[in-house]
Amino acid sequence: MSNGFIRYETKNGVEYASVYKAKRVDGKKTNDVEYLGRVINKENGIYQNRMRGVFSFSVENGYAVAQNHKEPIVKEKLILDFGDVFLLSEILKLSGLQDIFESVSPDNKDTLFALLAHRVLDSCTANRYASDWLEGSYARLLYPKAKLNSQRISEFLSAIGEEDCIRRFFCAYLSFLAKNGERHGILVDSTGLPNDIHFPLTAINNHNGVISNETRLILVVDRQTKMPLYFRYAAGNIVDVSTLKTTLKELSAFGVNVDFAIVDAGYYSESNIREMQKAEISFVVRLVSNRKLYRDLVDNYVDNLEAAENMVYYRERLVYIKKVRVDLFGKDGYAYVAIDADRKHDELKKYARSALENKDISREKMNSDMRTKGLFILLSSQDISTKEILPLYYERQAIEQVFDFSKNNADLVPVRVHSEETFRGHLLLSFLASATYIAATNLLEDSDCCAMGAFHLFRNLKCKVFEKQSIVLEPNKKMTEIMKHLRVQAPLVVDLW
């Protein structure tokens, strides 16, 4: 062997070694890393790992039998975090996601699941710390072929970011979720991914008055299960209203039969409404304030809206709602003109503070402005009661939960990639992490613990690793209750051979 070197590092007082072999890929020089294991005798090049036991190694001669090794072999190797990875693995199996996720990278599934576990369980650290996390986790034994050093992660993300890989995954994933051709209600929204990557997807965006350099991520969530269904991305300067038809077409191409959609105001347009009507998709959408229909509804119904017959109580908030039949581009629809009493009070206080200090604002202008404080208007293609429209529309908060988890727990932002392929792989991995988290949330429903709380709790369940087996320590009462809820049981012994 030539063109290689051995790198040593010490962790928790124990010295480990890896061999770096130089090679060329597509004309570029790179290193192939192979883990040697624990250093037994550095001077004589003797190492120990689970696969080979005790052996000798040198860059010049490669592997050999360890001759005349008289030092005792350490029986107990180390103590690892066991419970969180065990719980994650069981949830993937129970939810049916294990086999689906394997379709992403069947030849490198250990790296996939180890990296997925890092994103879900150790979200506060970036990818460059993934190999350090792996050293202290049971994931290193469950996924022994995982390669989580920074260079390998970048290569892996680039590989799973290929269009054929993403398409293969969604074919399997959506076929799994859309069983028996059932129709789906969906939630659609987008979020900005601020970044300074120099590629065509980065552009200046003005979203609700906030200007940033970003890429837009479009997400579709299943209304019933709250599982993320699909994601797309677009350049930051492409507005939401331009993306809905393409999103619906792509879902249809994957065989997802959509019959109902809840979308935000940014997707309201004649073109989008007509597209959903043509596809026989019922919908609920918030009406933007710069539309003629909005102004007409305000002029005709706002002044008499705050009346007893229009009162609705929703989530400890008083809302006045009036349902009005309207024409939606040639077809009947329904407008829900609403004033949130608490929101109106807050907005009036804020407005009055600035308006009274501005000598140039006339009383007529102030009266006109105050009419719409706390006001919002929803549109529906179906006749829905005023008591049901708010719970229905606010189901879209489920998509905010996915965005929140993706950004705060699945390493979605900041974006630390340098090519479009790696960017796509980064988005796919975050999507897998979000799907895993929502699946865990669904499985733990009606238990005494949320998904993230359960993962944090189970990290305290340790295992001791010996030569041929790993012994799991005793779970506490809370862990036992969660396992009982999921109908799983932690093993006492895990064989390593």
The four Cα atoms 325, 327, 330, 331 give a dihedral, to 10 degrees, of: -30
Q: Is 351 exposed, middle or buried (0-12, 13-18, 19+ CB in 10 A)?
A: middle
The 3 state secondary structure assigned to the chain is CCCEEEEEEEECCEEEEEEEEEEEECCEEEEEEEEEEEEEECCCCEEEECCCEEEEEECCCEEEECCCCCCCCCCCCEEEECHHHHHHHHHHHHHCHHHHHHCCCHHHHHHHHHHHHHHHHCCCCCHHHHHHHHHCECHHHHCCCCCCCHHHHHHHHHHHCCHHHHHHHHHHHHHHHCHHHCEEEEEEEEEEEECCCCCCCCEEEEECCEEEEEEEEEEEEECCCCCEEEEEEEECCCCHHHCHHHHHHHHHHCCCEEEEEEECHHHCCHHHHHHHHHCCCEEEEECCCCCHHHHHHHHHHCCCCCCHHHEEEECCEEEEEEEEEEEECCEEEEEEEEEEHHHHHHHHHHHHHHHCCCCCCCHHHHHHHHCCCCEEEEEECCCCCHHHHHHHHHHHHHHHHHHHHHHHCCCCCCCCCCCHHHHHHHHHHHHHHHHHHHHHHHHCCCCCCCHHHHHHHHCCCEEEECCCEEEECCCCHHHHHHHHHHCCCCCCEEECC
Positions of the chain with pLDDT under 70: 1-3, 12-13, 23-31, 50, 68-77, 123-125, 179-181, 206-209, 408-418, 497
Place of tokens 């590629």: 199
pLDDT of residue 70: 59
In this structure, the number of other CB atoms found within 10 A of the CB of residue 313 comes to 10
Tell me the residue type at 142: L
- Residues contacting 95, CB < 8 A, separation 6+: 436, 439, 440, 442, 443
The order of strands in the sheet holding 14-25 is 4-11, 14-25, 28-41, 46-49, 53-58, 62-65
pLDDT at 469: 85
Average pLDDT over the chain, rounded to whole? 87
Write down the pLDDT at residue 39: 87
pTM above 0.75, yes or no: yes
**Predicted local confidence at residue 74, as pLDDT:** 43
Token pair, residue 281, equals 């998709």
Output the pLDDT for position 123.
Answer: 65
- pLDDT tens column, 424-467: 998 999 999 999 999 999 999 999 899 999 999 999 999 998 87
* Residues 204 and 284 sit within 8 Å (Cβ to Cβ): no
Model pLDDT, residue 76: 46
Which residues, including other chains, have CB under 8 Å from residue 239's CB and lie 6 or more apart? 266
Q: Domain ranges in the chain? A: 4-74
Q: Which of 409, 465, 488 is nearest to 81 (CA)?
A: 465
Amino acid at the residue 462: K
Q: Give the per-residue pLDDT at 321.
A: 96
Structural tokens at position 496: 């390593």
Residue range 63-102, pLDDT digits in tens? 888 876 655 444 445 889 999 999 999 999 999 999 999 9
Model pLDDT, residue 25: 60
How far is the C-alpha of 247 from the C-alpha of 228, rounded, in Å? 14
Q: Which percentage of the chain shows pLDDT scores above 70?
A: 90
Distance separating alpha carbons of residues 100 and 428, to the nearest angstrom: 13
Q: Which of 263, 281, 285, 199 is nearest to 234 (CA)?
A: 199
Query: Tens of pLDDT along 184-222?
Result: 899 999 888 877 777 777 777 766 667 778 888 999 999
